[in-house]
Amino acid sequence: MEGFKAIGLSYKNAPIEIREKVAFSELEAGDFLMKLKEVFAIEEALLVSTCNRTELYFTSPVEVTSKIISLIAAFKSLTASQLEASFISYDGVEASKHLFNVALGLESQVLGDIQISNQVKRAYQQSADLNLAGPHLHRLMHTIFYANKRVVQETRLQDGTASVASVAVDLIGGFISNIERARIALIGLGEIGQNVLENLNTDETSITLVNRTKSKAVKLAEGRDIAVCDFDDLDQVISDNDVIISAVSSKNPILTSASFSSKSIHKLLIDLSVPRSMDQDLENVPGISLYNVDQLTERTLKARKIREKSIPDAEKIVEEELGNFMSWKSEMEVSPTIQRLKSALDQIRKEELARHKKLSTEEVELLEVVTKSMIQKVIKLPVLQLKAACKRGEAETLVGVLNDLFNLESTDVEKK
């Protein structure tokens, strides 16, 4: 399909203050996609929105990028001027390649991030549910999923744990393995806090969110089995939970040894704040396991180095599968020419047979078989040459020659 494009912003070119303004919930994404379809008559669209990026992929035969940015701004009660400087656009093969790289984690803040692949799959499912995924998007997405499978099997791009948030979740998993319905408190819901929340298993744990701006916690908990507490009730939160994660900005520690009673304690404390929000003296409190962001970062370094070495191998897979997709796309673009050529030759065949009215029924049936077989053999070489030209990027020239030779564009033919 002509006119495949992508527009969006990410952590690479937009601060969190901008990204959070254009982040879409699943419900908002659905509403926006339907609005996009209504306003611009767009038939294929995919909206990927995470804490690190908001990107829209779509097909349009005309240039509507600036108008779509204006629509996003209006949808989010912003002005276009607030967004235009941060939005980057991609066109054609570059848009397809960018989606490959995003879905495989090559564009992620955490290299090889598995989570982004799942987020892209959910976005694709939503597009399909809204009838906004046509042949082009279906084929592209399934090619990307196959490429991701190859990356997992053939490279080490997704080996190990490569983010502080995921290391924290791994620690939590080990700590609560013997605790039935473990209670976890997450204090601070900035970018790091949200990353931790996205990785936590909310089905097997009890989660409580605490944030200075309570409305943000309420919004993140909306529609999920997650509790919200006031920041002023921090002492009670500390007392009630087995695991306490702090990702809050604070000049002074919000948790000290005085925050815990002298009775038996068995708690995991994870401090993801810089400056630290948990007093280092907590390491000396019996029953408390304390980890800070530097300790967690050390655990990610080895995995990151392994993943970085795998980038060339992953990029090679992207190029191979993108090439396969573009070959398919080129063949789809010449398919109408092939159908017109077949119809034009078949029309000639029928007209010639119609001239011979004295033939018997048996003779007509025999000639039908013979002439159809001849047409199939005649058309075989042009079809093979067209497909080969597609792979070389030269199909347009050959299509033009066939159109001129058989006057295909001016012939009214039926598509089979």
Q: Which residues are catalytic?
A: 51
Given a contact cutoff of 8 angstroms between Cβ atoms, the answer to whether 242 and 174 are in contact is: no
Q: Are strands 53-59 and 88-91 parallel, antiparallel or unpaired?
A: unpaired
* Beta pairing partners, 227: 208
DSSP H helices, 310-360, are 311-354
Residue 345 and residue 413 in contact, taking contact as beta carbons nearer than 8 Å: no
Rounded-to-integer distance, Cα 319 and Cα 131, Å: 29
Neighbours of 71 (CB within 10 A): 18
Q: What are phi and psi of 136, to 5 degrees?
A: -65, -50
CA distance 50 to 110: 13
- In Å, the largest CA–CA distance within the chain is 111
Spatial separation of the C-alpha atoms in residues 23 and 307, rounded to whole Å: 28
Residue 344 CB partners (closer than 8 Å, separation 6+): 406, 407, 408, 411, 413
Alpha-carbon span 257 to 91, nearest angstrom: 56
DSSP states of 346-411: HHHHHHHHHT-TT--HHHHHHHHHHHHHHHHHHHHHHHHHHHHHHHHT-HHHHHHHHHHHHT-TTS
Pairwise CA distance, residues 75 & 387, whole Å? 44
Per the DSSP assignment, residues forming a β-bridge with 186 are: 209, 245
Tokens read off for 78:
């912003």
> CA-CA distance, 56 to 21, in Å (whole number)?
15
Q: Which helix (H) or strand (E) holds 300?
A: helix 293-309
The DSSP code for 46 is E
27 phi, psi to nearest 5 deg: -65, -45
